[in-house]
Amino acid sequence: MQLSTPATHPSSLLTASDISQGVNFGTTSFLTSNSASLNSYTGASGDNNAALACRTGPLNKTATGSSYFSFTISAVSGYKFLLQSIALGLRSTNSGPQTWSIYSSVDNFTTPIYTSSLSNNSSWVFQQHSISSSYQEVVAYRIYGFDGVGTAAINIANWRIDDLELSGQVVPATLPVHWLYTDLYLLNNRVMVAWATTWEENNLRYHVERSAEGESFLRIGELTAGFSGNSSTEQVYQFWDNNPLPGRSYYRIVQEDKDGSLNFSAVKSIFIAGGTSFSLHRYQVDLFSHRISIACKGVGQTIFQLFTLHGQLLSREFRNLVSGHDELFSIPISAEIKRGSLLILSVQQNNKRVASRLIICN
């Protein structure tokens, strides 16, 4: 290991990061020619090796626990990498690790991909192992060393590796769905969301989401994937939004795979002129139940807020109006509010806000 940077990765579809230290017990030099591997095993490069000062004890993934070597492998966009084998030279001293394991970011370094034993006799040994992993586009790896015994000295390297070699496959990343189009149509004050695919694999369902501003989306419906989620022919879907928002609205389709992963369509927008206006009609205060009943009309997410005259927020409720006709809601009020209190009721929907003064009379 002459350098911490990768010596070769013959595929132009891959990039590999530098190898680096993790949770080193002190400030030991990372690359050093001390205790070189030269002539220790067939193909040993000698010269520099990567070193760590490791604490003793079982595997401990905290910031003051087991040391590790880390690196990242990235496939270019549209491809994914499968790690199939690892080979490396290792050397551990009497206080160094007697077990090493390789973990990955796929499961947040939870389950080892491979684990092997290591003799702590200060001799180099070359190990090569097949690995069972999964295809991923970008994966960070950590090689942990642990199960050392005795007392480890700070700033003294007791574990070294050299000639790290990784082998695997790079293949095209098959998307679960190939989108053909996503379109919106306004018919009789209803919005039809239409989309089509040319390929589906392990597809579970589609969720239709809508937004008033193009950022925060609300799920308004779903459709089950056709042909049990596997198709190599064109599939066409339609969903009707019977209560669209007035003004500009944004829609997107969220495809859910059978393993729970999500894939998003392009975002489309549509403008609906006019629409149902928003208005606050009446309200009634009930001090016995400590609630205010409110009648209002509109379509979309609505925020009900109650303030004192000094601007102190007393209550806030979120409701979704859907009918465009008068709807009755109630929001709680504090038991401390007494007869004769003067309050401000604010009701906001989209960009419109209505405020009214309340005098608590009953």
Are residue 51 and residue 114 in the same domain, yes or no?
A: yes
CB 126 within 8 A of CB 87: yes
Is residue 1 domain-resident?
no
Q: How confident is the model at residue 323 (pLDDT cuts 50, 70, 90)?
A: low
Q: How confident is the model at residue 73 (pLDDT cuts 50, 70, 90)?
A: very high
Q: Is the pLDDT of residue 38 over 70?
A: yes
Higher-confidence residue of 356 and 10: namely 356
Percent of the chain with pLDDT over 90: 43
Are residue 60 and residue 164 in the same domain, yes or no?
A: yes
Q: How confident is the model at residue 302 (pLDDT cuts 50, 70, 90)?
A: confident
Are residue 129 and residue 201 in the same domain, yes or no?
A: no
Q: Is the pLDDT of residue 290 over 90?
A: no
Q: pTM for this structure?
A: 0.51
Is residue 140 domain-resident?
yes
Q: Is the pLDDT of residue 324 over 70?
A: no
Is residue 33 domain-resident?
yes
- The last residue of one of the domains, among 214, 238, 272, is 272
Domain total of the chain: 3
Are residue 113 and residue 164 in the same domain, yes or no?
A: yes
Q: Is the pLDDT of residue 133 over 90?
A: no
Is residue 162 domain-resident?
yes
Contacts of 252 (CB under 8 A, 6+ apart): 182, 209, 211, 217, 264, 265, 266, 267, 268
Q: How confident is the model at residue 10 (pLDDT cuts 50, 70, 90)?
A: low
- In what side-by-side order are the strands of the sheet with 300-308? 313-321, 300-308, 342-349, 352-359
CATH value at residue 345: 2.60.40.2550
* pLDDT number for residue 161: 98
How far apart (Å, rounded) are the C-alpha atoms in residues 348 and 304? Answer: 7
| Lowest mean pLDDT, pick from 11-15, 40-44, 216-220 | 11-15
Q: Which of 229, 217, 226, 228 is nearest to 253 (CA)?
A: 217
Are residue 65 and residue 155 in the same domain, yes or no?
A: yes
Amino acid of residue 47: D
Q: Is the pLDDT of residue 95 over 80?
A: yes
Q: How confident is the model at residue 362 (pLDDT cuts 50, 70, 90)?
A: low
* pLDDT number for residue 5: 57
Is residue 2 domain-resident?
no
Are residue 227 and residue 315 in the same domain, yes or no?
A: no
Is residue 7 domain-resident?
no
- The last residue of one of the domains, among 213, 239, 272, is 272
Residue 268 belongs to what domain range? 177-272
CATH value at residue 244: 2.60.40.730
Mind listing the pLDDT tens digit for each residue in 164-177?
Answer: 999 988 877 667 78
Are residue 38 and residue 163 in the same domain, yes or no?
A: yes
How far apart (Å, rounded) are the C-alpha atoms in residues 238 and 215? Answer: 23
* pLDDT number for residue 352: 67
| Residue 178 Cα to chain centre, angstroms | 22
Is residue 155 domain-resident?
yes
- The last residue of one of the domains, among 117, 141, 172, is 172
Are residue 20 and residue 167 in the same domain, yes or no?
A: yes
Mind listing the pLDDT tens digit for each residue in 212-246?
Answer: 888 788 999 999 998 888 888 889 999 999 988 88
Are residue 53 and residue 39 in the same domain, yes or no?
A: yes
How far apart (Å, rounded) are the C-alpha atoms in residues 6 and 136? Answer: 19
Is residue 6 domain-resident?
no
Are residue 24 and residue 163 in the same domain, yes or no?
A: yes
CATH value at residue 111: 2.60.120
Q: How confident is the model at residue 3 (pLDDT cuts 50, 70, 90)?
A: low
Cα distance between the two ends of the chain:
84
Are residue 239 and residue 287 in the same domain, yes or no?
A: no
Are residue 185 and residue 145 in the same domain, yes or no?
A: no
* pLDDT number for residue 23: 96
Q: Is the pLDDT of residue 2 over 70?
A: no
